[in-house]
Amino acid sequence: MSPTETERQSPRYAKIDLWEPAEILEAMIEGQFSAVAAVRAARPAIERAGLAIERRLRGPGRLVYVGAGTSGRLAAQDGAELMPTFGWPHDRLLLLIAGGQNALLRAVEGAEDEDQQAIELVRRNEIGAADVTIAVAASGTTPFTLACLREAKKRGSLTIGVANNRGTPLLQEADHSIFLETGPETIAGSTRMKAGTAQRITLVLLSSLVMILLGRVYDGLMVDVQASNKKLVRRSEKILSRLTGRGDDKIHEALQHARGSVKLAFLLLQGYGLDEAEAALDQAGGHLRRAMSLIVERPETGHRETQPPFREHATHEWSNKALAAGLGPSGRDR
């Protein structure tokens, strides 16, 4: 069986252990630039996948990240960062990595070959039609990752396949495929290098695009940031300062009334009442710009009213229909 492109040894680097350190570094830096170029070439596919994900996640479904080894750790990292950065609800995130939580820190022998365990994980976590499954594997053939994607798709989940080898099952069977043509690695088979960089960039672009489309960014600012530590509290305050120009005392008071919600605090600082601000955000599906356009002045009375919602089926992070999520084979974290 011929090796995949990411496993193939490049004659160019056959004597790399004899090179000067500066030459080795230059070769590896060149490889990183080629990873960026591979992502740029895949931009149309990333866009299509992002639009499809946004449509599916208007409902109460979850984002499910799947992978093994380096790909799994990169996938888990991207998913975990959505919570503090964009306020993505914990119960709408599911991270499945071959070998479970232990695999985040060290290699778990044979875990990537456990296709039956992958199927059981998908079933145990009841992945279904409301959910989006993003499966990542440099080879495009990893048994655990492929089995997760197949079972999730069988159960109705929207599936996204990300791989670095053309024409592989992960790309062929996913609803939306993202092929990252990074070629052979500087160190043959070490897909933590070019392939990993391309995957990391792709996941960041894809998830960030989805979060923007879902209204979790306003004027280039993270208006759904979760103030879970002092740094993020200060960030929330700075965001409101930039958007409103108000003083620290007013901003602090608004954040308290808004229970830490930057979006709600912003509307309060604009003079809107708490009830009407909450109703507008609810009807706008959390989109701050749309919520503002929902609240209009009545010229004859000076009172504001809330218009009908922009679109049906708009859902929100506090939806009581949100499904449970977990990490690895331990199942749901309640």
Count CA within 13 A, CB hemisphere, residue 266: 25
Q: Enumerate residues 6+ apart whose C-beta is below 8 A from 305.
A: 295, 296, 298
Q: Which helix (H) or strand (E) holds 141?
A: none
Judge whether 157 and 64 are in contact, CB under 8 Å.
yes
Judge whether 135 and 162 are in contact, CB under 8 Å.
yes
Task: Give the Å distances, CA to CA, from 166 to 9, 44, 139, 172, 213.
Answer: 17, 16, 9, 9, 29
Has 112 been annotated as catalytic? yes
Please classify residue 27 by burial: count the beta carbons closer than 10 Å to its beta carbon, then call 0-12 exposed, 13-18 middle and 19+ buried: middle
Q: Which residue in the list 112, 114, 185, 317 is annotated as catalytic?
A: 112
Q: Which residue in the list 7, 54, 81, 120 is annotated as catalytic?
A: 81
d(CA 137, CA 72): 8
HEC-encoded secondary structure of 203-232? HHHHHHHHHHHCCCCECCECCCCCCCCHHH
Task: Give the Å distances, CA to CA, from 27 to 164, 165, 220.
Answer: 20, 21, 35
Q: DSSP letter for 332, please.
A: B
Burial code of 104-120, b = ≥16 C-beta within 10 A, e = fewer?
A: beeebeebbebbebbbe
d(CA 290, CA 309): 9
**What spatial distance separates the first Cα and last Cα of the chain, rounded to whole Å?**
45
Q: Enumerate residues 6+ apart whose C-beta is below 8 A from 174.
A: 135, 149, 153, 159, 160, 161
**Residues identified as active-site:** 81, 112
